[in-house]
A and B are shown apart, each in its own frame.
Chain A
Amino acid sequence: MPKLIRWLSVGCWIVGALSVQEASASDGVDYATQVGPLLQAKCFDCHGADAQESHLRLDQRASLLAGGDSGEPAILPGNAEQSHLIQLVSGQQAGKFMPPDEADRLTAEEIELLRDWIDQGAVTPDADQPNTADTIVRPSHWSFQPLQGVVPPTIDANWGANPIDAYVLQGLRQHGLTPNPPATRAELIRRMYLDLLGVPPTPEAVQAFAVDERPNAMARLINKLLADPRYGERWASYWLDLVRFAETNGFETNRERPRAWPYRDYVIRSLNDDKPYDQFLMEQLAGDSLGAPEATAYLVAGPYDLVKSPDVNLTLMQRQNELDDMLGTTSTAFLGLTVGCARCHNHKFDPIRQTDYYALQAIFAGVQHGERSLPLAEPQLQEITRLEARAKELRTQLHPFLKHAQRSRASVNPRGNEEDFAPLPARYIRFTVLATNSSEPCLDELEVYSGTTNVALASAGAKAKCSSALPGYSIHRLEHVHDGLHGNSHSWISNEAGAGWVQIELPQEASIQHIVWSRDREGQFEDRLPTEYRIEVAVEPGQWTEVASSADRMPYAEDGPAEPEYDFERLPSNQATVGRVLLKDLQECQRYIEELRAAGNVYAGAFEQPGPTHRLFRGEPREPREAVAPGTIASLGKLSLADDAPEQQRRLALAQWIASPENPLTARVMANRIWQFHFGKGIVSTPNDFGLAGARPTHPELLDWLASELRENHWSLKHLHRLILTSATYQQSSRPSKEAHTVDAATEWWWRFPPRRLDAEPIRDSILTVSGVLDPTMYGPGFSAFEVELENVRHYFPKKTYGPADWRRMVYMTKVRLERESVFGVFDCPDAASSVPRRNRSTTPLQALNLFNSPFILQQAELFAARLERECGEDQAKQVTRAYWLCFGRAPNGDELTESREFIATAGLNAFCRAMLNSNELVFLQ
């Protein structure tokens, strides 16, 4: 079919060309004498050789075809009606009547002339010249140039440990600055712990390091910290901010994503393993083809508007917003480019055309929000098979104890129901709904198994029919019942209250023995559930045999699925005891199976082959223009994908292009991020914007050197960390200097290590470390900071009391979109609505109130006090000294000790601990 279309369009083009020739031979419009002078008189002043307002130029064929900022071609040869130029000069574009001055407007005849010219093929004198719009001219902006093969400067100085320092010293000298003296050992170990691990060092670690006389003591410390798994926990936060990760959907309903956490574990593990950055980013775009399927959770880590409507305009706009989130995050996070501006028109600053935006959109067009069942490992699969056999056996053994002999199976469950029967041949399978718990019935998937293969899939050639389908909803169509995608957004709903049927026709007869069906396998919806049903199969049409029904299930209960009821009392006690043991075994068996199965589901997106992507005029879903093939920003590269390239191949191609060593942005952007997270500010201070509107690097050569180091050392992030940590620049004292402040208050030239307030996570983790209750358990589902009211629209109420389950590291706190955690959220925690490359750092009275008065902190202060008493007994001097070491990594001086003891004597140890946990010295990185 695609071939035929292409041939036809070529045919049309030939016919069109012929008619142009004919026309020009007879009464055709002539450019030189008619169109040219008209455009010259009315348009060229603003859109000609001298000026190109809105970047539109009408005196060249190539730019006529390419158009200006709007992204619309000015003319479509052969189609005056749709040509933007005609719409503009005839006032069909609201607010954009051209020429703007009413006195200059074209007459009806002049417009007609332009129409004829375009309809006749828009012949121009330069029609034969090559279309320069098609050739890639690499823009001259610095970040688009290949990495410079830089050689670090040789600096005549006895300061500096590696090339970083040579670059920095060069800059300092140019500005008449000198570096600060080195920080003390105690300061450095504290700085490195907080920076790399996000927790303070133990007093013992500080003391041991202070007296470590070995020449390589510093290198040993750095190696130890880089090998510490807490590194991944701290640095994952930065990445999770950048990719707007959260564990709820956002928008008004803000429902949970209980299976989003595996992505957090993936990021922590990847960082700890020092996974090459190119691989790390490729896996997130296309991990399903690279052996890291959970990594694609990145694609759908952003917000998702769950509120659906039959209003097609809304549905289209929601989908555009989802795709915008995916491609916008990808371009900012990996490339440092803000492609989002090109959704409605060509980018105002960067060489990104509107077509590029839709080429990128076509890359993601097949990605849908939702969970995906990831393949379970073989041992788990075997375990499930074994457990299922055991459960079946137990059910048989429990049969005599059934309270209602006819109700031997659990009631229907919105999340999924299984039907087992003796194998029999079938060509047709019909699922008939006889009653629902509300409204028209909904099925998100109907699976029919021959052996272990689901033969009902459309992709396997099966066809579906139904009694009726609810009109108006693209998310509730018949085809969703066997598309392999789960959840309400991929489901069928009949158009009959409490009734309806759906039928699967297999491509050929098969022996089947197992059927699985569900209302919403993602567990978001429990309404519209078929509560009474029957399933029949047939080899010949109409010759139905019933294989399963709700008759032997427990009746559906409003408060959730019901298990079969057993009555042990009516049997002798010894038998009853046996029965009870059997039931307990069965329940354990079932729970274990569920756990094993659930381990395979991850909110990592579902993939389907998309239809064509169109450029949208002004970004309006209702105004599609030409189809756009999947691709990337044309001025920077090319992906060579066919219009209908397979979905996965699209993402993989983009991933490979981004990760290519030739891509000038990828390594620069990441090297800058690493620098920024160590120093608080990047070499480029606009980390998500390396485009023309972004900031220039303060040290362009240093940035290129770091980027080359990253690229040429297997994209190892730990290699960059090591270079930075060992540099004299990093190891400078953070103390202020009056002279340096006068020249460079913003520390743009790095005359000191810039001190700064810690982020929320290291503040909370430090407090838990100091009080001694931090639970170091790594990985797995997080803990909640909220009591959640489970209405349609979720409400999040901050917890009022806390226990050990809340004392894990903050990276494991279930990330709720929009709602900030009640104590630490106000320390500029992002709301995960969009990519945050670096957090704000504000100081507010609410932060003070939270740290000074919240039950969380008061409890921590008590725990801290209890720890001091436990470790130091009643000796106040010891208590104070220990507290200083734990909080600040140093001993108190004489005055501090005296004052503290006096304070404890009057106000108590708890009050002292409360103040210590609020102190600047604890919450600042220096």
Chain B
Amino acid sequence: MPSHELAGRHLLNRRAFLNHAATGLSGIALSMLLAEQGLLLAQSPEGTVSGKSPLRPMIEPQHPFAARAPHFPAPAKRVVVIFCSGACSHLDTFDYKPELIHRHGMPLPGADKLITFQGEQGNITRSPWQFRPRGECAKMTSDLLPELGALADDICFLHSLKGKTNTHGPGENFMSTGSTLDGFPSAGAWTSYALGTENENLPAYVAIPDPRGTPQNSVNNWGPGFLPAAYQGTDFNTSKPIRNLARPEGISTASDDQARSFLKRLNERHLEKFPEDSELAARISSYELAARMQLSIPEVSELASESATTLKMYGADDAENPLRAAYAKNCLLARRLLERGVRFVQLFNGAYQTGGEGVSNWDGHKSIEEQYNLHGPVLDQPTAALVRDLKQRGLLRDTLVVFCTEFGRMPTFQKGASGRDHNPEGFTCWLAGAGVKAPFSYGATDEFGYRAVENIVTVHDFHATILHLLGLDHERLTYYHNGLERRLTDVEGHVVRDVLA
């Protein structure tokens, strides 16, 4: 039975449902989490800002990650988000603006007194990279990312994103969680809360940090916010395994297994005294799940079984550029996770560690040409290979690929520098795969690429669209916290229907 039907019935007759659910271990009493969310709060449309009643996932405490049906049938079963940390310039990648070439070296009209994040503006500066038509659709993209550009026929570009902040931390928060402030659940947390996962032996939601380290706002990008901790992203990559996953050194497999069995015996004996207590039973299950993860996560992280052709396609064998090889391995890991049914994968390109501003991420303030010439090749081929690989394996049909960053950059160079300052007024993100129209370009910035002017897509709209593609109504996927039925989209957001296939 789809979860929303259960939820609907729950709304009609909560007590009857509870009684039904609570009649024994097989029925599974509801966890506190559900009891609170389901029983006690605004269940009526009047109680919510959107005027729509919440649809709550039916979560069994012993199987918090069990696959749950979406609100409505949908094309996307899983998502991979490619997040370029540091704010990747739209003007040097996918948003072609001939006016920047024509007016190169001239002041940006109306910007003489404009103060952006780091201060005053210099003149309009053309992209150091040539744009040329790519794909059968002849989309103009830059030479910085030729491989990604070559995928133009599979991509739906959104050129009119608009943010709310010009600072990295809040910008990452906004793109990842829908709030510029810390402490809100990430899109992946909302998704795994709503849908669980198709492979309970792996985490429902994996964040793959860049080989160089974490993004600027670090763990908040995959945090659970006020959702239960179960729904946070588990972060690991090919060079940094999950902490405490491996059997501890010095303890043999046999001894480890014995200890686990003995613990199980202890807990089962204890459970006999509390036969109706699902929380105790859930904790016993969690040790079993942990044991299965100890096998399944090393398996998924082990790339040795991949063919030389595949490794080459991703650039994972690149001996010249170990950074590119390391990121490529993360891309490959992303595919392997998606293939095995992980619901939400967040793949980061760029980190704040080891250098900060522009050195190890896309924050090109000082000398964008030099910095992006290092970052471009790291991102380009491996990411493009990921999309191609998903496509050739048939996964792109029901996998949504999201390419995003915290905000865009200015059409001008900063006064006294050879790079671009932050610009949340207009930037580009793209979607590919399940349920998305492609090739397609939606929305536009002005002739300089400064402000989104046509078919503006707010970050809330972007999130509403992603949830919609997963079969989730962004106004009904809510969680009560401090007085409000909270949503990924706050009190805003519209599905951008024009980009749906």
Contact = CB atoms under 8 A, between A and B. Distances in A.
Interface stretch (B91-99, B339-347, B367-375, B476-484): B476-484
Interface string A314-345: 10010001000000000010000110110000
A351 interface: no
Question: Which of the listed residues B23, B117, B183 has the most CB atoms from chain A within 10 Å of its own CB?
Answer: B183
Question: Which of the listed residues B227, B248, B353 has the most CB atoms from chain A within 10 Å of its own CB?
Answer: B248
Contacts of A789: 353
B32 A841 contact: yes
B483 A915 contact: no
B286 interface: yes
Nearest to B182: A833
Interface stretch (B140-148, B211-219, B299-307, B388-396): B211-219
Q: Is the interface of A mostly helix, strand, loop or mixed?
A: loop
Interface string B91-132: 000000000000000000000000111110000000000000
A233 B360 CA distance: 43
Contact of A755 (B255, B274, B293): B274
A243 B130 CA distance: 53
Interface in A839-893: 840-850, 852-855, 858
Nearest to B354: A791
A472 B115 contact: yes
Interface string A334-371: 00011011000000110000000000000000000000
A391 B356 CA distance: 42
Given A755-B277, A907-B262, A920-B283, A745 B168 contact: no
A185 interface: no
Contact of A310 (B119, B181, B482): B119
Contact of A314 (B64, B117, B181): B117
A685 B259 contact: no
B64 A741 contact: no
Interface stretch (B263-271, B322-330, B433-441): B263-271
Contacts of B289: 845, 848
A688 B483 contact: yes
Nearest to A888: B270
Contact of A741 (B23, B225, B230, B286): B23
B258 A920 contact: no
Given A314-B166, A903-B262, A907-B255, A756 B279 contact: yes
A880 to B, nearest CB: 12
B19 interface: yes
A850 B168 CA distance: 32
A818 B263 contact: no
Interface in B35-54: 35-36, 39-42, 47, 49
B301 to A, nearest CB: 15
Given A694-B483, A789-B353, A853 B182 contact: no
Given A314-B165, A735-B273, A827-B229, A919 B356 contact: no
A112 interface: no
B49 A853 contact: no
Interface in B250-266: 251, 255, 258-260, 262-263, 265-266
Contact of B276 (A348, A741, A835): A741
B23 A742 contact: yes
A818 B219 CA distance: 7
Interface residues of A, number: 103
Question: Which of the listed residues B21, B166, B169, B258 has the most CB atoms from chain A within 10 Å of its own CB?
Answer: B169
B247 interface: yes
A309 interface: yes
Given A251-B170, A332-B483, A793 B279 contact: no
A848 B286 CA distance: 6
Interface string A456-471: 0000000000000000
A691 B271 CA distance: 39
Interface string B317-341: 0000000000000000000000000
A321 B242 CA distance: 35
Contacts of B226: 834, 836, 840
Nearest to B22: A745
Contacts of A646: none
A820 B356 contact: no
B270 A831 contact: no
B484 A341 contact: yes
Given A309-B118, A745-B21, A831 B229 contact: no
A112 B244 CA distance: 72
Question: Which of the listed residues B39, B228, B271 has the most CB atoms from chain A within 10 Å of its own CB?
Answer: B228
A252 B259 contact: no
A793 B352 contact: yes
Contacts of B223: 818, 831
Given A755-B274, A842-B228, A853 B244 contact: yes
A921 B270 contact: yes
Contacts of B6: none
B284 A831 contact: no
B445 interface: no
B263 A795 contact: no
Nearest to A913: B259
B266 A843 contact: no
A831 B183 CA distance: 7
B30 interface: yes
A852 B287 contact: yes
Contacts of B255: 907-908, 911
B167 A309 contact: yes
Contacts of A341: 483-484
Nearest to A345: B491
Given A307-B169, A854-B244, A907-B258, A919 B266 contact: yes
A367 B168 CA distance: 26
B246 interface: yes
Contacts of A858: 248
Interface string A358-399: 000000000000000000000000000000000000000000
Contacts of B245: 849, 853
Question: Which of the listed residues B223, B262, B286 has the most CB atoms from chain A within 10 Å of its own CB?
Answer: B262
Contacts of A847: 286
B299 to A, nearest CB: 16
B289 to A, nearest CB: 4
Contacts of B183: 303, 818, 831-834
Given A736-B275, A795-B213, A818-B182, A849 B290 contact: yes
Contacts of B117: 309, 311, 314
B234 A252 contact: no
A309 B166 contact: yes
Interface in A799-855: 817-820, 822-823, 826-828, 831-837, 840-850, 852-855
A608 interface: no
Contacts of B35: 745-746
Given A252-B352, A853-B246, A818 B483 contact: no
B232 to A, nearest CB: 8
B282 interface: yes
B18 interface: yes
B61 interface: yes
Contact of A907 (B181, B259, B352): B259
B465 interface: no
Interface string A464-490: 000000001000000000000000000
12 contacts: A695-B40, A795-B353, A819-B219, A831-B225, A837-B482, A844-B64, A847-B286, A854-B243, A907-B259, A907-B262, A915-B263, A920-B270
Interface of A: 250-254, 303, 305, 307, 309-312, 314, 317, 321, 332, 337-338, 340-341, 348-349, 472, 680-681, 685-686, 688-689, 691, 693-695, 734-736, 738, 741-743, 745-746, 748, 755-757, 789, 791-793, 795, 798, 817-820, 822-823, 826-828, 831-837, 840-850, 852-855, 858, 895-896, 899, 903, 906-908, 911-912, 914-916, 918-921, 923-924, 926
For the complex of A and B, 6 pairs with smallest distance between CB atoms? A833-B183, A338-B483, A252-B169, A745-B22, A842-B228, A736-B276
Given A332-B483, A686-B480, A689-B482, 5 more contacts: A338-B482, A689-B483, A734-B274, A911-B251, A920-B267
